[in-house]
Structure 1
Amino acid sequence: MNYTESLAYLEGLGKFGIQLGMERIEGLLRELDNPEQKLKTVHVTGTNGKGSVSSMIANILLAANLKVGKFTSPHLVKYNERINLNGRDISDDDFATVISAVKVAADSVVKKGVCQQPTQFEVLTAAAFLYFYLQKVDYAVIEVGMGGLWDSTNVITPVVSVITNVALDHTDRCGKTVERIAMQKAGIIKENVPVVTAAEGNEALGPIVSFAMFKNAPVYLYGKAFYGEEVSSSMAGQKFTLHAGNVYSSDYEIKLPGEHQIKNSSVAIVAAKLVSKQDDRVNELALHLGAANTVWPGRLERIGQQPEVILDGAHNPNGAEALRKALDKYYPGQKVHFVFGMMGDKDMSGVIKALIHQDDVVYTVRADEGSRAAAAADLAKLVGPDAVPVDSLAEAYGKALQAAGAQGIVCVCGSLYLVGEFKKLLLNAQQRLH
């Protein structure tokens, strides 16, 4: 298959939806001679923050002059973003090659009756493992797709496991309570493999600590074993001190704004320090350089000034709360002009309550063309009588820019799918200009 054909193949697999369980991925990887077993990995799960944490760990390992793979999801604009080598997305040709190889294996296991047709995410996961093995990476940082225990990435025995945090999201698949979701995420904990987490509260920590004890895995808790202390903070970035017991204290500079990113960065750095315990190539300089080099698109991402234009994929109440805190911190007392779109199966009321203040201006849009996206009019009703439903994203953005004026704030948020659509819009506008 060429690149276009490989994309068509993946899109065709979309109809199989999300199916948790391990038999398909295990059968598929066996057919490919288990490339995942030949990789050194770091495994990252969590409700929010796993993308930026994965990115920072990968950047630290990269700063240590190592060859590093990174598998994340979802993508914003192109599937290639999910499979990254040394900070660059996989090329179209390489993407087509590994997807073709995985398709052959998938067709084979289905024909042999080993398992049912692997899902789109399982094919992408297998493709990432195969690509990282063929590229002979020193480490691959693997982000969980959903949950942990039954996620298709949970076929690895990593060097370190990371659980960023636990909050309510994907309740239809991972459980209706924080405790049940924590049990899913704790499923990535492996025998004798250290775990780093910033999860809080007994409901979240109970299952994580219990699983870790059962697996004899040392646990490093944010707030106990280590914590980050803000020194200075702005939309351009932050400086903080990372304290780890009485043995370690060091100042770090990061480009990621928001109080929550001090916590996320602390988790990433401690995870990388645990890698350094068995690999002395990961030194102190790499920790600082990798942390300083990390940017993560679509999360408190400022793409314009005068007016300030911010993109954020906050799609659950926990993420919305972090975004609102940051807006209040960096733009105190200022009204925000939101371009807001969400998936209909998310906690829309919870996000609206956490995010939108009474004097904010809200233009609602459909997050993307998919069937899961909430209609602009339905979303506007939930926001309140002053929200304005708009047919197109471009039109809503134009209205928000105009209403905000040069000194205002525009925030495009509510879903990573919306942020992806917005980035495509910008890309198309730039291509037309050239």
Structure 2
Amino acid sequence: MVKTYDEALAFIHGRDRFKKKPTLDRMREFMHILGDPQEKLDMIHVAGTNGKGSTVAYLRDLFMAEGQTVGTFTSPFITRFNERISTDGQPIPDDDLLAMVNQIQPVVAQLDQELGAEGPTEFEIDTALMFCYFASHSVDIVIVEVGLGGLYDSTNIITPAVSVITTIGMDHMKILGDTIPKIATQKAGIIKQGVPVVCGRLTPDALAVMDETATRQHTDVRALGRNFTVKNRPEDGWGERFDYHWGDRRWRHLEIDLLGEYQIDNAATALTAFTTYHQLRHLPMRLVDIREGLRHTAWPGRFERLNAEPLIAIDGAHNEPAMLELAHLLRQHFKQHDIYIVLAVLADKQYEKMVQTLLTVPNVHIVVTQFQGPGKRSAATPQALEDAVASHKRITMAPDWPSALKEVLSSISADDLVLLTGSLYFISEVRHYFKDTDE
């Protein structure tokens, strides 16, 4: 019996993160003993390299704008573990999390006894907690984000109403494969028999994998750029504006508060999944609710403003595809400003490419630093980050991020941009610091 919230977290985080052999059998047995709570839920399943979290947030707010109660399952968390299991954006209360841990702990013990070293992983336990929680608390729909990959992800025991694949890029290559088609095959693993698939902006070779998988599963793919389209309507000020077109739907001047052209893609992908769901369930939709839902969407750590003057933002870009998007955003929105980037990256990421990509933006100055990595994962050293480029003209080093930030703030002018980026774990630490000093 677990008695406190801290003990509950220790139980969850004390589990292995991965097993040598990927399988869904253990997860299916786990859920079966718990009475298959996932069978009681209406769900949308979201996979992809980047953009999953934002797409989940848009979907949540679109459903909430029409009065639905929405469960979300996301990872990683930014400030507290509870955020991963949220209802209408509110994290699971500590007492409920404790109760859920006590409900599943005996089953975990039983599986450990049966399977020895092959007992449930940390993420399987997170997923089980989520299914049990939403099955016992009335929600209208649950938006489930894949943890890693798709095919063997512990969330992949579900049959959702709609499957969504946001983007495919090079990340987690040791686990998912070292080519776009290999990674796409892992993500396409969430495509189920007869369940419609919505895809974001995919490369032709990635989209071909989705189409082939969907054909085998007797369903169809709605893809951004092919079946539905967006037109960016850039304006001054924060946020993005765009037109959306799919079939006979032509919705003009939709607004989002998140910055970056890729956020238009994420919003349009979410909107297509939302519309597909309404078609399947024969539910009416109102454009006024859609406008409201999109306009209200906020997602912590995605080009999030922490301070207005000087402008300080954080962004969770943690791999090369995300850095390319970020560089594009900086060129588009901040070409008149000097940009100071405080960069810290996990050592197992493609940090050489990430540094080089940021330096393609001419008005960028980088301070490379490090942070305390999560668990056993370490951050790349400032020296390794600096060594990633031939010329060091626009790069300096700092031993830790608070001193890097201090150094930057002492040298900037009022209309410069300060951006902290490179890892979701890193910006979680930064966000914690800023929010604590606000209170």
| TM-score normalised by length of structure 1 | 0.94
Q: Are the counterparts in 2 of residues 229 and 241 from structure 1 also a CA contact under 8 Å?
A: yes
Structure 1 residue aligned with 2:264: 262
Please say if 1:327 is aligned against 2:330: yes
The alpha-carbon distance between structure 1 residues 400 and 21, as it changes in their structure 2 partners (threshold 3 A), is farther
Q: Quick one: which amino acid aligns to residue 9 of structure 1?
A: F
Q: State the 1:358 CA deviation.
A: 5.5
Rounded Cα–Cα distance in structure 2 between residues aligned with 1:19 and 1:304: 45
Q: Are the counterparts in 2 of residues 275 and 282 from structure 1 also a CA contact under 8 Å?
A: no
Rounded Cα–Cα distance in structure 2 between residues aligned with 1:308 and 1:136: 41
Please say if 1:366 is aligned against 2:370: yes
Structure 1 residue aligned with 2:60: 58
Q: Quick one: which amino acid aligns to residue 378 of structure 2?
A: R
Q: Which runs of 4+ in 1 moved over 6 A?
A: none
Q: Quick one: which amino acid aligns to residue 133 of structure 1?
A: A
Equivalent residue of 1:372, what SS?
coil
Q: Quick one: which amino acid aligns to residue 371 of structure 2?
A: A
Equivalenced residues, count? 431
Rounded Cα–Cα distance in structure 2 between residues aligned with 1:20 and 1:136: 32
Aligned CA RMSD, in angstroms, stands at 1.9
Rounded Cα–Cα distance in structure 1 between residues aligned with 2:282 and 2:9: 38
Structure 2 residue aligned with 1:352: 355
Please say if 1:421 is aligned against 2:429: yes
The alpha-carbon distance between structure 1 residues 430 and 120, as it changes in their structure 2 partners (threshold 3 A), is same
Query: Is 163-172 or 299-308 further displaced after alignment?
Result: 299-308
Rounded Cα–Cα distance in structure 1 between residues aligned with 2:24 and 2:404: 42
Q: State the 1:282 CA deviation.
A: 4.7
Q: Quick one: which amino acid aligns to residue 325 of structure 1?
A: H
Q: Are the counterparts in 2 of residues 235 and 302 from structure 1 also a CA contact under 8 Å?
A: no
Structure 1 residue aligned with 2:23: 21
How far does the alpha carbon of each residue in 1:263-306 deviate from its partner, in whole angstroms, 9 at most, with x for none? Answer: 11111001000111115155433322211110111111122122
1:200 to 181, 184, 202: 202
Rounded Cα–Cα distance in structure 2 between residues aligned with 1:368 and 1:282: 46
Rounded Cα–Cα distance in structure 2 between residues aligned with 1:124 and 1:170: 20
The alpha-carbon distance between structure 1 residues 246 and 65, as it changes in their structure 2 partners (threshold 3 A), is closer
Structure 1 residue aligned with 2:246: 244
Please say if 1:99 is aligned against 2:107: no
Q: Are the counterparts in 2 of residues 27 and 114 from structure 1 also a CA contact under 8 Å?
A: no
Q: Quick one: which amino acid aligns to residue 344 of structure 2?
A: G
Rounded Cα–Cα distance in structure 2 between residues aligned with 1:375 and 1:203: 35
How many percent of aligned residue pairs carry the same amino acid?
31
| TM-score normalised by length of structure 2 | 0.93
Structure 2 segments unaligned to the other structure (5+ residues): none
The alpha-carbon distance between structure 1 residues 172 and 302, as it changes in their structure 2 partners (threshold 3 A), is same
Q: Are the counterparts in 2 of residues 61 and 282 from structure 1 also a CA contact under 8 Å?
A: no
Please say if 1:313 is aligned against 2:321: no
Q: Are the counterparts in 2 of residues 233 and 257 from structure 1 also a CA contact under 8 Å?
A: no
2:188 to 170, 186, 189: 186
Equivalent residue of 1:240, what SS?
strand
Rounded Cα–Cα distance in structure 1 between residues aligned with 2:363 and 2:201: 33
Spell out the pairing of 1:1-400 with structure 2 (5 A cutoff).
1=2, 2-14=4-16, 20-113=22-115, 116-234=118-236, 236-277=238-279, 278-280=281-283, 282-356=285-359, 357=361, 360-370=364-374, 371-383=377-389, 384-386=391-393, 387-400=395-408
Q: Are the counterparts in 2 of residues 163 and 199 from structure 1 also a CA contact under 8 Å?
A: no
Q: Are the counterparts in 1 of residues 201 and 225 from structure 2 also a CA contact under 8 Å?
A: no
How far does the alpha carbon of each residue in 1:147-192 deviate from its partner, in whole angstroms, 9 at most, with x for none? Answer: 1111111111011110011111111111100000000111100111
